């Protein structure tokens, strides 16, 4: 029977691994060998990785690919993408190549406002609380100056603080709803530090406010935390060209454009389709977010919330044909950073940002959003023409052959056979077994 362990975090890495292997691995020696095979031979670099998180035992690698030929606002870029799913990089690259000769991708940042909140309980007069807040608002800002001074010098800082009454949804529940500009930093630590200072000021000033009775003076702060829902940190991206320029055949072009628009409209009204539709967008977005050292979980949460902002989950992208012009576009929230965190610690992240021209946060927002739109275009192009599986399974064939430990000669025969036959895992397995039996 397995027993819990005390002080695991204090053990050296080797002891952590030995304990884990002894109690949880089917094959102890093989498990240890696998873990150590992913250690970096550069001890200094491995130590850097070990210190990113807690209880580190090894590195978990993702393949990084490159999607070239992205023309964005007139600049040609090669985009790094870190992802484990086959066909994603290929699809993005194909979309980039397709639009390279049709005007490229266009992108603009609409706004970069980020949000944080102090959640508190106040059981008392709403009007007196409102008067208190209006009188003390300047003090909230003044007492946070030691935190905001450097950010303000660069042009950022606190934009506004509002008192929000939520008592119609929960008894006594109010918020300090705060907006921030964090420039090239994602800004989580900055925002949370400001919010915690606001909470201290709120409690301190309430204790000495003469219009509060004894009960009202004891405001209960529940938590102070930034929000990953950033509906005012928006970037818009789009591609467009005359319908007849989509393909050499004008009839084919019109039929493709019509089917494409219909496919997007289906994702606007059918949630079952919309989730998969938007997941495809996030294939492109997450891959670049990871490659540039940003928080893909925060991005995912914020984007999917935005897709539901009108009370129904729907497509993030939009397609239309207007006056003979095909336009495919998307607007979504992306709170990204290019300074702080892993962007200055992870050597590969630094190299990837250098590859992208060392963009600021706004430029990175454009690049990431373009990758998402490209991925969505490629998926919809396949879905509305040949079908998604033809291209995907060709890319996935290599994974199947690796699982079956195919030899180089077997690979050649498999690739020849399935160049004209439908690829499925069982079909490839049967074919390999047939080769081996013969």
Specify the pLDDT at position 66. Answer: 98
Question: What does the pLDDT look like over 40-97, one tens digit per residue?
Answer: 999 999 999 999 999 999 999 999 999 999 999 999 999 999 999 999 999 999 999 9
For the question of residue 344 being annotated catalytic, the response is no
**Catalytic residue (one of 97, 279, 394, 417):** 279
Per the CB < 8 A criterion, the answer to whether 82 and 37 are in contact is no
**Catalytic residue (one of 106, 314, 392, 396):** 392
Rounded average pLDDT over 281-293: 98
Percentage of the chain lying above the pLDDT 90 cut: 85
Specify the pLDDT at position 429. Answer: 87
How far separated are the first and last CA of the chain, in Å rounded? 48
User: What pTM was computed for the model?
Assistant: 0.88
Question: What does the pLDDT look like over 238-265, one tens digit per residue?
Answer: 999 999 999 999 999 999 999 999 999 9
Higher pLDDT, 414 or 241: 241
Give the pLDDT band of residue 421 (cuts 50, 70, 90): confident
Q: Residue 239: phi, psi to the nearest 5?
A: -130, 150
Higher pLDDT, 22 or 409: 22
Say if residue 388's pLDDT is above 70: no
Specify the pLDDT at position 394. Answer: 62
Q: Which residue has the tokens 């539709």?
A: 277
- Calculate Rg over the CA atoms of the chain: 27
Specify the pLDDT at position 401. Answer: 81
Half-sphere exposure of 140 (CA within 13 A, CB side): 25
For the question of residue 346 being annotated catalytic, the response is no
For the question of residue 279 being annotated catalytic, the response is yes
For the question of residue 300 being annotated catalytic, the response is no
Say if residue 268's pLDDT is above 80: yes
Q: Which residue has the tokens 């240890």?
A: 32
Specify the pLDDT at position 286. Answer: 98
Question: What does the pLDDT look like over 302-350, one tens digit per residue?
Answer: 999 999 999 999 999 999 999 999 999 999 999 999 998 888 899 999 9
**Catalytic residue (one of 50, 85, 232, 270):** 85
The rounded mean pLDDT for the chain is 94
Structure tokens at 336: 């990204």
Give the pLDDT band of residue 173 (cuts 50, 70, 90): very high
Angstrom distance (rounded) from CA 282 to CA 273 = 14
Question: What does the pLDDT look like over 62-78, one tens digit per residue?
Answer: 999 999 999 999 999 99
Q: Which residues of 402-433 are buried (b: 16+ CB within 10 A; e: fewer)?
A: eebebeeebbeebeeebeeeebeeebbeebbe
Say if residue 212's pLDDT is above 80: yes
Specify the pLDDT at position 280. Answer: 97
Specify the pLDDT at position 191. Answer: 97
Specify the pLDDT at position 432. Answer: 85
Per the CB < 8 A criterion, the answer to whether 110 and 244 are in contact is no
Specify the pLDDT at position 390. Answer: 59
Give the pLDDT band of residue 404 (cuts 50, 70, 90): confident
Per the CB < 8 A criterion, the answer to whether 107 and 73 are in contact is yes
**Catalytic residue (one of 295, 314, 366, 396):** 295
Say if residue 399's pLDDT is above 90: no
């Amino acid at each position: 029977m397995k027993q819990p362990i005390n002080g695991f975090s204090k053990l050296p890495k080797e002891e952590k691994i030995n304990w884990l292997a002894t109690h949880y691995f089917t094959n102890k020696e093989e498990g240890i060998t696998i873990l150590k095979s992913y250690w970096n031979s550069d001890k200094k670099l491995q130590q850097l990785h070990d210190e990113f998180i807690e209880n580190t035992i090894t590195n978990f690698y993702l393949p990084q690919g490159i999607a070239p030929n992205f023309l964005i606002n007139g600049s040609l870029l090669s985009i790094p993408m870190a992802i484990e799913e086959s066909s994603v990089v290929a699809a993005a690259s194909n979309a980039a190549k397709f639009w390279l000769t049709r005007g490229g991708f266009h992108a603009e940042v609409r706004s970069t406002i980020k949000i944080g909140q102090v959640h508190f309980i106040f059981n008392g007069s709403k009007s007196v609380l409102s008067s208190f807040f209006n009188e003390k608002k300047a003090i909230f800002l003044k007492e946070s100056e030691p935190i905001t001074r450097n950010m303000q010098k660069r042009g950022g800082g606190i934009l506004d603080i509002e008192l929000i009454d939520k008592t119609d949804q929960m008894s006594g529940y109010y918020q300090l709803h705060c907006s921030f500009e964090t420039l090239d930093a994602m800004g989580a630590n900055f925002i949370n530090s400001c919010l915690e200072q606001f909470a201290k000021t709120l409690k301190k000033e309430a204790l000495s406010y003469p219009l509060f009775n004894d009960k009202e003076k004891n405001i209960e702060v529940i938590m102070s935390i930034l929000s990953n829902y950033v509906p005012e940190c928006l970037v818009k991206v789009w591609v467009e060209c005359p319908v007849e320029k989509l393909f050499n055949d004008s009839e084919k072009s019109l039929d493709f454009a019509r089917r494409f628009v219909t496919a997007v409209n289906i994702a606007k009204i059918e949630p079952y389709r919309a989730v998969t539709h938007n997941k495809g967008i996030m294939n492109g977005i997450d891959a670049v977010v990871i490659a540039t050292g940003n928080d893909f979980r925060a991005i995912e949460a914020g984007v999917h919330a935005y897709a539901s902002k009108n009370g129904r989950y729907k497509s993030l992208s939009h397609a239309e044909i207007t006056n003979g012009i095909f336009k495919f576009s998307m607007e979504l929230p992306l709170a990204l950073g290019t300074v702080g965190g892993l962007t200055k610690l992870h050597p590969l992240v630094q190299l990837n940002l250098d590859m992208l021209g060392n963009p600021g946060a706004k430029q990175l927002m454009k690049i990431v959003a373009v990758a998402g739109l490209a991925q969505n275009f490629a998926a919809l192009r396949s879905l509305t023409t040949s079908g998604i599986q033809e291209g995907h399974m060709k890319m996935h064939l290599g994974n199947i052959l690796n699982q079956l430990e195919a030899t180089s000669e077997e690979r050649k025969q498999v690739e020849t056979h399935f160049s004209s036959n439908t690829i499925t895992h069982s079909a490839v397995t049967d074919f390999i077994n047939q080769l081996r039996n013969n």
